[in-house]
Structure 1
Amino acid sequence: MDAVEIEITVLLGRSKIPMQQLLRMGRGAVIPLDASEYDEVWILANNHPIARGELVIDGERVSVSVTGAAQVEDYYATEQ
């Protein structure tokens, strides 16, 4: 098991912006998302949805609490 590498990603929201706008952004730029901090997040393993969760903010710490299994069909249905 020590040799298996898994990348875990937490996806809060998505945004579509033109490439030119992205290239003009500098350090500290803010990209608006289609979600808020109170929305459920997707938890991905190697870019594959495995669970849903919620953000837990405690001062400066941000963590994710797993709330249930991911419905893969729902994940791909939200990609546009």
Structure 2
Amino acid sequence: MSVLEGIQLELSIVLGSTQIPIRQALKMSRGAMIPLDRDHDAPTQVFVNDECVAEGRILVKDDVMSLEITRIVRRDT
């Protein structure tokens, strides 16, 4: 077993964001559309432990959604 297998991390894939009133969120039903602050062709961001580490694009084939990494974000040292 690899020494890295037991390390926990938080991974987030961010398509975009928005702010809506709670009353609007409570009225939403299945299939509701939520407008985001990005175009559909804007890069999707990948965060590890709240730090952006990569960008990519969402791919959909049949019922499977995946993320293709297109750029690794370099940290300034």
Same topology, TM > 0.5: yes
Write the distance in 2 (CA, Å) between the matches of 1:17 and 1:10: 20
Contact 1:41 1:52 in 2 (8 A): yes
Secondary structure of 2:25's partner?
helix
Match of 2:11 among 8, 21, 27: 8
Within 5 A, what are the aligned runs for 1:7-26?
A: 7-26=10-29
**Structure 2 letter corresponding to 1:31:** I
Tell me how large the CA RMSD over aligned residues is: 2.1
Larger radius of gyration: 2
TM-score by length of 1: 0.70
Name structure 1 gaps, 5 residues minimum: 73-80
Write the distance in 1 (CA, Å) between the matches of 2:62 and 2:39: 18
TM-superposed CA distance for 1:26, in Å, is 4.2
TM-score by length of 2: 0.72
Distance 1:58 1:48, change over 3 A: same
Secondary structure of 2:26's partner?
helix
